Amino acid sequence: MTTFNKTEEEWRAILSPEQFRVLRQKGTERPGTGEYNKFNEKGVYHCAGCNAPLYESTTKFDSGCGWPAFFDAIPGAIVRHEDNTLGMQRIEICCAKCGGHLGHVFKGEGFSTPTDERHCVNSISLRFKQ
């Protein structure tokens, strides 16, 4: 899965404490607090851990969920895992290059997007580049 291996100490040295909590410990930022929630510039969202390109801005949409939402990722950029924590069944999405936790993907919510998916991504897991 991952091609970007670092020790926990190496990750702590390059990530902020909050980035480490979300990307490496599968945390979640509070809804409505992320830098990219209401951000609408044209460009590419990259992994904050390893800089791999993840999402094109053309796939971002306003879902009203409090986190950046995308309807599709760059092909091969993410991997999906079943997540049964918190007493519910969800699909976790991670960076395919470094394994960093991005958020979760939800299907069938009725958004008028081409994939009928909402990739609910933590802003702190992302870096934007024009």
120 in active site: yes
Q: Could you tell me the CA-to-CA distances from 92 to 22, 27, 39, 62, 120 in Å, in that order?
A: 12, 11, 23, 20, 10
Query: CB within 8 A of 130, min separation 6: which ones?
Result: 41, 42, 43
Amino acid at 90: R
Catalytic positions are 120
